């Protein structure tokens, strides 16, 4: 079995607070989508920050065959893309083109190669023609597509999504879910949108009380009514009889 990521005995606490994680361990399979759910305050976003190296915990995070540490952090970040919950945290350049192209030259791409990567990423998210627009003048759904395009342009092996459908209207939500499903890389998706998690995930991990309560095949986990209720969740309506 090929693993895109192996997390072993991960622990983390914010200063002066109870531990967010105490010995969390799991594996992300190659090309799978792992949904992460749990009640508020269980560290779902913190987990993504730890996995991407933006926060430092104890334990081991291995991406492919490389263990995350101070020496390998830059190399590992080049293999990952993080799509933030709020697009305005990610979009800060004058134009859409520059937002997507940001950092690609540091990965060794020529100017022509960057242009091709940006064009292909915009094609995939249906946003060609927006290159010279200001990202901050776009709708929320369009901004989220630009963030996704920026992630796609990096050709990452792993993509991390934090509440990707949050605040989208029904049409924008359907379109973004379709885009996510079309991306053939390993993905970790954190969300309270359990119907979306049910649709996009191969497996689901439930977090609560400092660790993992359950992990397994999506339908088996999300239709376990006792498990859902014990962890302040509900069975998704899309999976109800």
Q: Express each pLDDT in 68-82 by its tens digit.
A: 998 998 888 888 999
pLDDT at 48 over 90: yes
Give the pLDDT score at 181: 95
**Distance between CA atoms of 79 and 143, rounded to whole angstroms?**
23
Average pLDDT, integer, range 114-132: 95
Give the pLDDT score at 105: 81
Residues 6+ apart with CB under 8 A from 114: 101, 104, 105
pLDDT at 106 over 80: no
Give the pLDDT score at 74: 84
Give the pLDDT score at 77: 84
- Three-state DSSP class for residue 56: coil
Give the pLDDT score at 120: 96
- E-strand spans in the chain? 3-13, 19-29, 33-37, 58-63, 66-67, 80-83, 158-162, 186-190, 203-208, 211-217
Give the pLDDT score at 215: 98
pLDDT at 239 over 80: yes
Name the segment(s) of the chain with CATH classification 3.40.50.300.
3-64+159-239
Neighbours of 156 (CB within 10 A): 19
**Percent of the chain scored above 70 by pLDDT?**
100
Instruction: Tell me the sheet residues that pair with 162.
Output: 190
Mean pLDDT of the chain: 94
pLDDT for 132-174, tens place per residue?
999 999 999 999 999 999 999 999 999 999 999 999 999 999 9
* Whether pTM exceeds 0.85: yes
Give the pLDDT score at 196: 98
Q: Which of 222, 225, 224, 238 is nearest to 173 (CA)?
A: 238
- Give the confidence band of 103 by pLDDT, cuts at 50, 70, 90: confident
Which tokens in the block code for residue 83? 């799509």
Architecture of the domain delimited by 3-64+159-239: 3-Layer(aba) Sandwich (3.40)
């Amino acid at each position: 079995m090929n693993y895109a990521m192996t997390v072993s005995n991960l622990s983390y606490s914010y200063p002066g607070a109870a531990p967010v994680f105490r010995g969390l361990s799991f594996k992300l399979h190659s090309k799978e989508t792992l949904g992460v759910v749990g009640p508020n305050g269980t560290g779902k976003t913190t987990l993504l920050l730890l996995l991407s190296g933006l926060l430092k915990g104890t334990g081991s995070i291995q991406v492919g065959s490389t263990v995350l540490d101070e020496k390998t952090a830059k190399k590992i970040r080049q293999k990952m893309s993080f799509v933030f919950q709020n697009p305005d945290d990610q979009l800060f350049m004058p134009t859409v083109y520059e937002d997507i192209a940001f950092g690609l030259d540091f990965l060794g791409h020529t100017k022509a190669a960057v242009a091709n990567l940006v064009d292909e990423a915009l094609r995939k998210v249906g946003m060609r023609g927006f290159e010279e627009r200001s990202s901050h003048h776009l709708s929320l759904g369009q901004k989220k597509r630009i963030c996704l395009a920026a992630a796609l342009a990096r050709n990452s092996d792993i993509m991390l999504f934090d509440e990707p459908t949050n605040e989208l209207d029904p049409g924008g939500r359907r379109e973004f879910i379709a885009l996510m499903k079309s991306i053939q890389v390993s993905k970790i998706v954190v969300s309270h949108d359990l119907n979306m998690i049910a649709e996009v995930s191969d497996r689901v991990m439930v977090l609560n009380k400092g660790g993992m309560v359950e992990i397994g095949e999506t339908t088996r986990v999300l239709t376990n009514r006792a498990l859902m209720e014990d962890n302040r969740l509900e069975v998704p309506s899309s999976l109800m009889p």
